[in-house]
Amino acid sequence: MGILQIVIVLAVIVLLVKPLGTYVYHVFSNEPNRLDKLFGPFERILYTLIGLKQRAGMTWKKYALSFLLMNIVLVAVSYVILRLQQVLPLNPNGIDNMEQTLTFNTVISFMTNTNLQDYSGETGLSYFSQMIVIMMMMFTSAATGFSVAIAFVRGLTSKGETIGNFFEDFVKAHTRIFIPAALILTLVMVALHVPQTLEPTLSVTTLEGAAQHIAIGPVASLESIKHLGTNGGGFFGVNSAHPFENPSPLTNVIEILSMWALPASLPYTYGLFSKNRKQGWVIFGAMMSMFIVFLVMIYAAELRGNPVLNKLGIDASQGSMEGKEVRFGIAQSALFTAVTTAATTGSVDNMHDTLTPIGGLGALAQMMLNCVFGGKGVGLVNMLMYAILGVFLAGLMVGRTPEFLGRKIEPREMKLIAVAILTHPFIILVPTAIAFLTDLGKGSITNPGFHGISQVLYQYASSGANNGSGFEGLADNTPFWNISTGIVMLLGRYVSMIAMLAVAGSLVRKQWVPETVGTFRTDNGLFMGILIGTVLIIGALTFLPALVLGPIAEQLTLR
DSSP per residue over 232-264, as a string?
---SSTTGGGSTTTS-SHHHHHHHHHHHHHHHH
Residue 421 has pLDDT above 80, yes or no: yes
Confidence of residue 315 (pLDDT cuts 50, 70, 90): low
Q: Measure the CA–CA gap between 337 and 352, rounded to whole angstroms.
A: 8
Residue type, 63: Y
DSSP 8-class letter at 172: H
DSSP per residue over 255-304, as a string?
HHHHHHHHHHHHHHHHHHHTT-HHHHHHHHHHHHHHHHHHHHHHHHHHHH
DSSP 8-class letter at 86: G
Residue type, 522: T
Among the listed residues 213, 153, 143, the one whose alpha carbon sits nearest the alpha carbon of residue 181: 143
Per the DSSP assignment, residues forming a β-bridge with 214 are: 202
Q: 213: helix, coil or strand?
A: strand
Confidence of residue 309 (pLDDT cuts 50, 70, 90): confident
The crossing angle, in degrees rounded to 10, of helices 249-273 and 329-342 is 30
C-alpha pair distances (Å), 546 with each of 121, 455, 549:
32, 12, 5
Confidence of residue 177 (pLDDT cuts 50, 70, 90): very high
What distance lies between CA 109 and its chain's CA centroid?
A: 12
User: Residue 347's CB: how many other CB atoms inside 10 A?
Assistant: 29
User: Which of 122-131, 193-202, 237-246, 504-513 shows the lowest mean pLDDT across its residues?
Assistant: 504-513
Residue 525 has pLDDT above 70, yes or no: yes
Residue 402 has pLDDT above 90, yes or no: no
**C-beta separation of 485 from 467 below 8 A:** no
C-alpha pair distances (Å), 448 with each of 122, 163, 454:
30, 50, 10
The most confident of 33-47, 48-62, 99-113, 203-217, by mean pLDDT? 99-113
Q: Mean pLDDT across the chain, nearest whole number?
A: 92
Residue 516 has pLDDT above 90, yes or no: no
Confidence at residue 316, expressed as pLDDT on a 0 to 100 scale: 60
DSSP 8-class letter at 96: P
**C-beta separation of 480 from 441 below 8 A:** yes
Cβ neighbors of 391 (< 8 A, separation 6 or more) are: 402, 403, 404, 409, 520, 522
Confidence of residue 458 (pLDDT cuts 50, 70, 90): very high
Confidence at residue 515, expressed as pLDDT on a 0 to 100 scale: 77
Q: Measure the CA–CA gap between 304 and 157, rounded to whole angstroms.
A: 46
**Interval 333-356 mean pLDDT:** 94
Please, what is the Cα angle at 537 between 531 and 541, to 5 degrees?
A: 150
The crossing angle, in degrees rounded to 10, of helices 411-437 and 525-547 is 30
Among the listed residues 261, 197, 250, the one whose alpha carbon sits nearest the alpha carbon of residue 228: 261
Confidence at residue 317, expressed as pLDDT on a 0 to 100 scale: 65
Confidence of residue 492 (pLDDT cuts 50, 70, 90): very high
Residue 503 has pLDDT above 90, yes or no: yes
- Residues of the chain with pLDDT > 70: what percent? 99
Confidence at residue 47, expressed as pLDDT on a 0 to 100 scale: 92
Residue type, 480: F
**Interval 71-86 mean pLDDT:** 96
Please, what is the Cα angle at 272 between 24 and 58, to 5 degrees?
A: 70
Q: What is the largest distance, in Å, between two alpha-carbon atoms of the chain?
A: 81
| Range list of β-strands (E), 95-187 | none
Q: Measure the CA–CA gap between 83 and 125, rounded to whole angstroms.
A: 10
**Interval 298-323 mean pLDDT:** 82
Confidence of residue 420 (pLDDT cuts 50, 70, 90): very high
Confidence at residue 269, expressed as pLDDT on a 0 to 100 scale: 96
Q: Measure the CA–CA gap between 530 and 411, rounded to whole angstroms.
A: 21
Q: Measure the CA–CA gap between 455 and 485, rounded to whole angstroms.
A: 13
Cα torsion for 223, 224, 230, 234, to the nearest 10°? Answer: -10
Q: Measure the CA–CA gap between 523 and 292, rounded to whole angstroms.
A: 21
The crossing angle, in degrees rounded to 10, of helices 479-508 and 100-111 is 30
User: Which of 19-33, 47-61, 243-257, 277-291 shows the lowest mean pLDDT across its residues?
Assistant: 47-61
Confidence at residue 381, expressed as pLDDT on a 0 to 100 scale: 93
**C-beta separation of 211 from 205 below 8 A:** yes
User: Which of 64-78, 169-183, 252-266, 304-318 shows the lowest mean pLDDT across its residues?
Assistant: 304-318
User: Residue 415's CB: how many other CB atoms inside 10 A?
Assistant: 12
Confidence of residue 466 (pLDDT cuts 50, 70, 90): very high
